[in-house]
Amino acid sequence: MTTITAQPRWSVPGPRPLPILGRPAMVLRFARDSIGVSRSLFQTYGSVVSLTAGGGTNFYSPLPNCPGTVLTYGPEYVRQVTSQHEIYYKYPLSGRLYSKRNDSTRTEPLKHFAAGLFGVNSLTHRQHRQLLMPAFHKQRINSYGDDIVVITRSLLEQLPIGKPTDIADVMRLLSLRIATKTLFGCDIGEEGGKTAKTLQQAFTLEGSVGVSLLPFDLPGLPYHHLLNLMAQLDNEMRVLIQRKRASGTNDGDVLSMLIQARDAESGVSLTEDELLGHVGAIFAAGHETSANALTWTLFLLSQHPEVTADLLDELQSVLHGEAPTVEQLQQLPLLERVLKESMRVLTPVPWNGRVTSQPTELGSYTLPSGTEVLVNIYQTHHMPEVYPEPERFHPKRWEGFEPTMFEYNPFSAGSRICIGAGFAMLEIKIVLAMLLQKYRLQYLSQQPVERSGFIVMTPKHGMPMILHNQDRQFAEGVGGVRGNVREMVHLPA
């Protein structure tokens, strides 16, 4: 670990800000296409680059006077950034929003909304993570398996056969229902659904460019709408928490577990504000990510008929058309490899943000305190030195291949590694196993497949497909894909 004390001069190379439009123009470009912008900067300047030369953008850091915004990739830099927790801090919301949290009573929900684990560092992070861990222990996660099966079955039965369907929408709804059930429990029925929808709307707005660029509480502006939603959310969540507290029962859902969690030494439990933050953050982190991992995997399978045929053989020989048990998931090695390869090649969360809490060195550069550092997971997953033919979707590469956690990190690495990784793998595997045994998905090339999304990579125009009862006609719908997805993965002509 290398640290230095004086505030150094900015030296990391990068493009000059555009005349008149300045740095915000680059932030907009990055927000629209973080993968494309990063790749072109890495090609021009190397593996440690500035988003704009000579100054920061404050698009992630809430601290005043951000001296620079650095993008980096590669196992060594992933290791340095994700394992030096006292140097690389994490912040919950985009810089401008977080710094507005003390503006008025209207902005109070910003203090805890989406803060949760994302918004704490150092000792507080360790303590809170410890309190949250029981809800994510292997045994606990496995107990959610039955809920996942029941919800998946009911949704699959309602899907229209033979008609164009946006699979991205279906996966979003499915993961939303699973998250609602496992987070809030079944006893709250409709209210859980309502809260989940408000949360979803708020998170979509929170990540929107309109809110970042015009954070003014004036009717008609998206920021005003966001604050309204957050006030509503606050009320709904407080009612839920108070009701669960009063009943004193543990319904087995995450919220019940968190209400009952106590620090082993001090016996201290989470306050209501902390609970609001944690549940919001877990919900935000947990459902868009899984939904998109599922959508991209289904897309890749639709374009790789031999892999899909082999996978279906494996699923049917072990499961015989039934939903998998947790034990049976261990007997499905190809399912595991398909998922790993899908999250490598079309990484659901392409980058990870931090802010330096003190001057430090990264590569041959000295970063001042307050520097925003974005570690590019996607680009690390596409390094030919680690993954020969990186743009090839090739699940077999995982046979006997075990990259380090800094070479392969769809869930990040270090002590902030995704707390829901086990949950996500369980959910995605169960859904894929059930869906693929029941249906064949035929890709429809009506729209180009373009990446979009600021934090989670989503297909910009959805993912239209036709569902057929599983008939193994995997060649149908292969080819004809247009759009910038072709820059990320080799696809048939």
CB of 176 to ligand HEM, least distance (A): 12
Which two structure tokens, joined as six digits, stand for 248?
A: 């004193």
Site string for ligand HEM, 397-416 (x = CB under 6 A): -------------xxx---x
Q: Does 418 bind ligand HEM (CB under 6 A)?
A: yes
Tell me the sheet residues that pair with 361. 366
CB of 28 to ligand HEM, least distance (A): 23
Quick check: 103 and 62 in contact, CB under 8 A?
no
Q: Does 390 bind ligand HEM (CB under 6 A)?
A: no
Quick check: 167 and 295 in contact, CB under 8 A?
yes
Q: Does 349 bind ligand HEM (CB under 6 A)?
A: yes
**DSSP strands (E only) in 84-243:** 88-89, 164-166
Site string for ligand HEM, 8-47 (x = CB under 6 A): ----------------------------------------
Tell me, rounded to whole angstroms, the distance of Cα 424 from its chain centroid.
10
Q: Does 352 bind ligand HEM (CB under 6 A)?
A: yes
Residue 164, classed as helix, strand or coil, is: strand
Residues 78-97 within binding reach of ligand HEM (CB under 6 A): 82, 90
Q: With respect to ligand HEM, which residue has the nearer C-beta, 77 or 474?
A: 77
CB of 54 to ligand HEM, least distance (A): 27
Q: With respect to ligand HEM, which residue has the nearer C-beta, 373 or 466?
A: 373
Q: With respect to ligand HEM, which residue has the nearer C-beta, 12 or 349?
A: 349
Q: Does 71 bind ligand HEM (CB under 6 A)?
A: no
Q: Does 282 bind ligand HEM (CB under 6 A)?
A: yes
Quick check: 342 and 293 in contact, CB under 8 A?
yes
Residue 458, classed as helix, strand or coil, is: strand
Residue 273, classed as helix, strand or coil, is: helix
Site string for ligand HEM, 120-139 (x = CB under 6 A): ---------x----------
Q: How far is CA 167 from CA 116, 163, 353, 421, 430, in A?
A: 30, 11, 29, 22, 17
Residue 464, classed as helix, strand or coil, is: strand
Site string for ligand HEM, 424-463 (x = CB under 6 A): x---------------------------------------
Q: Does 474 bind ligand HEM (CB under 6 A)?
A: no
Quickly count: other Cβ atoms within 10 Å of residue 136's Cβ. 18
CB of 2 to ligand HEM, least distance (A): 20
Q: With respect to ligand HEM, which residue has the nearer C-beta, 423 or 454?
A: 423
CB of 90 to ligand HEM, least distance (A): 6
Residue 271 backbone class (left: φ over 0; alpha: ψ -120 to 50; beta: rest): beta
Alpha-carbon radius of gyration of the chain: 22
Quick check: 3 and 358 in contact, CB under 8 A?
yes
CB-based contacts of 22, cutoff 8 Å, min separation 6 = none
Q: Does 118 bind ligand HEM (CB under 6 A)?
A: yes
Closest residue to ligand HEM using C-beta atoms: 420
Quickly count: other Cβ atoms within 10 Å of residue 21's Cβ. 10
Q: Does 113 bind ligand HEM (CB under 6 A)?
A: no
- Name the DSSP letter for residue 159: S
Q: Does 270 bind ligand HEM (CB under 6 A)?
A: no
Half-sphere exposure of 99 (CA within 13 A, CB side): 15
| Contact range with ligand HEM by CB under 6 A, out of 15-23, 30-38, 348-356, 400-408 | 348-356
Q: CB-based burial of residue 8 (10 Å sphere; 0-12 exposed, 13-18 middle, 19+ buried)?
A: middle
Q: With respect to ligand HEM, which residue has the nearer C-beta, 23 or 337?
A: 337
Q: Does 293 bind ligand HEM (CB under 6 A)?
A: yes
Residues at the contact surface with ligand HEM, assessed by CB under 6 A: 82, 90, 117-118, 129, 281-282, 285-286, 289-290, 293, 348-349, 352, 410-412, 416, 418-420, 423-424
